[in-house]
A and B are shown apart, each in its own frame.
Chain A
Amino acid sequence: MFLNEKELSIIQEAIDNNEIEQVDEEIGACSECDGTCDSYCYTVS
């Protein structure tokens, strides 16, 4: 289930070398909730 050492290094290197930009965008689950709720959310798109 875990990343191996090489994969961890690649990610760390990409962060250190500024190869990953910091951009404001919606990532992951909608910020309105965590998806646990039984209610349906219209913000899913």
Chain B
Amino acid sequence: MYSVTITVTEKCNLNCVYCYERVKSSKNMSFETAKEILDEVINYGLLRYDVINIQFFGGEPFLNYELIKKCVDYVQIGFPDERKKIRFLATTNGTVLDFEMKQWLHNNRDIFFCGLSLDGKKTSHDTNRSNSFDLIDLSFFKQNWPDYPVKMTVSPLTLKDLAADVMWLHSYGFKIKCNFAVGINWDNAGSKRILEEQLDILIEYYVNNPSIELCSLLNVNFEKIVTEAFSGDELLIKHCGIGSRMCAYDIEGRKYPCQFFCENALGLPYDEVKDISVNEKYTISLCDEACQSCALIKVCPNCYGANYQSFNNCYKKDMHICEFFKRVAIASSTIQAKRFIKNNYSERRGNRLFFKGILEVQERLRHELIHDYASD
């Protein structure tokens, strides 16, 4: 899969508390620039990949709806034989979709996936996202893309409501792609304990509701811990397609490894970042010393762009997120093990290595986190 992000506008009507885009302006991408990008990426992608994802980005992308529509029409007409290989996506704040846009999205829902940023129940969403909850037509997204998750971001302000927000979204029928906000200040005393309390609530919730698909945060792949550890390999596999299977274009049409590096996001000159790359496999020695011996290094979430934004180093992680993920991994392993036991082995019957990974994580992190409790 080749993922291409095209920044169609720098405009946004919101001011979300965790937004990593340092520059907002009234600039839009021109159709001429967009056409050049589409020709380049589609011709390149068709030779190498089975699927090309074209994601429209902002700001709020639907503030340049006309360009989005033109781009989709251009591709549909210009590449008629390749329609099945090209998909369109956008993540929207949901607040600017008028009747015409909704009609167009509905008519194109099979080729254009429109994801919604939704941070939970009204109070949390409003806290994070400029009091915009009441402006969103939730049912529109549920009806048109019922199997696709909303994008929920957790901030320091809403961490205390993590469980309630997840449960509320599930009660509405949404699946959830959930992560902690990156590139922001998580240095808040008590966050670890707050997270543990929230995870305890979610453990009980998910075990008692086995048919609900885990939010992505808690859907850790424990098999990776075991299989890659056994290989004795000291190379880590790149977590995303940054710079290879993935690229991004800013409104001027300049190409970057991903959208995090765009000038409006990072605030750094193009020439400084355009050649940044992360190898498909890289040595563990590039990582923080604390990470090198961590049980979770093979599965730890890693946004290379956020790392670069915070530390000028793609491999250096925010250690607050590190501490969060240890707790998340324990909760995930507990949920999946308990579901397995409770359902009389019928759940997850298919992966012995996955459960070996669960046991390894439980054993190694129990010792570490218990010491963590003692030192508080």
Task: Enumerate chain A interface residues (CB-CB to B < 8 A).
Answer: 1-3, 7-8, 10-12, 14-15, 18-23, 25, 27-29, 31-45
Contact = CB atoms under 8 A, between A and B. Distances in A.
A29 B345 contact: no
Given A20-B348, A23-B350, A36-B302, 14 more contacts: A1-B199, A1-B203, A1-B331, A3-B337, A3-B362, A8-B359, A11-B358, A14-B345, A14-B355, A22-B350, A28-B222, A36-B179, A36-B239, A37-B303
Nearest to B216: A35
B113 interface: yes
A41 B87 CA distance: 10
Given A10-B341, A11-B359, A25 B350 contact: yes
Contacts of A31: 221
Contact of B356 (A15, A33, A40): A15
- For chain A, what secondary structure do more than half of its interface residues adopt (helix, strand, loop), or is it mixed? loop
A1 B91 contact: no
A40 B337 contact: no
A28 B221 contact: yes
B68 to A, nearest CB: 14
Contact of A3 (B91, B302, B333): B333
A36 B149 contact: no
A14 B219 CA distance: 21
B147 interface: yes
A39 B213 CA distance: 20
Q: Which 7 pairs, one residue from A and one from B, show the smallest C-beta to C-beta distance?
A: A28-B221, A23-B350, A35-B216, A36-B301, A33-B240, A22-B352, A40-B115
Contacts of B203: 1
B338 interface: yes
Given A2-B362, A37-B240, A42-B89, A27 B223 contact: yes
B259 A36 contact: no
Given A34-B239, A40-B151, A27 B221 contact: yes
A28 B220 contact: yes
A21 B350 CA distance: 5
A45 B87 CA distance: 14
- For chain B, what secondary structure do more than half of its interface residues adopt (helix, strand, loop), or is it mixed? mixed
B53 interface: yes
B97 to A, nearest CB: 16
Contacts of B331: 1
Contacts of B302: 34, 36
A32 B123 CA distance: 33
Contacts of A44: 147-149, 175, 177
A40 B4 CA distance: 11
B349 interface: yes
A18 B352 CA distance: 8
A37 B148 CA distance: 16
A43 to B, nearest CB: 7
18 contacts: A2-B330, A2-B362, A3-B337, A8-B359, A14-B345, A25-B351, A27-B350, A28-B220, A33-B241, A34-B240, A36-B239, A37-B303, A39-B89, A40-B113, A40-B115, A41-B53, A42-B1, A42-B113
Interface string B164-196: 000000000001010100100000000000001
A39 B239 contact: no
Contact of A36 (B182, B334, B366): B182
Nearest to A43: B1
A1 to B, nearest CB: 5
A7 B165 CA distance: 29
Contacts of B157: none
Nearest to B175: A44
Given A44-B177, A45-B147, A19 B351 contact: no
A12 B113 contact: no
B34 interface: no
Interface in B54-95: 55, 87, 89-91
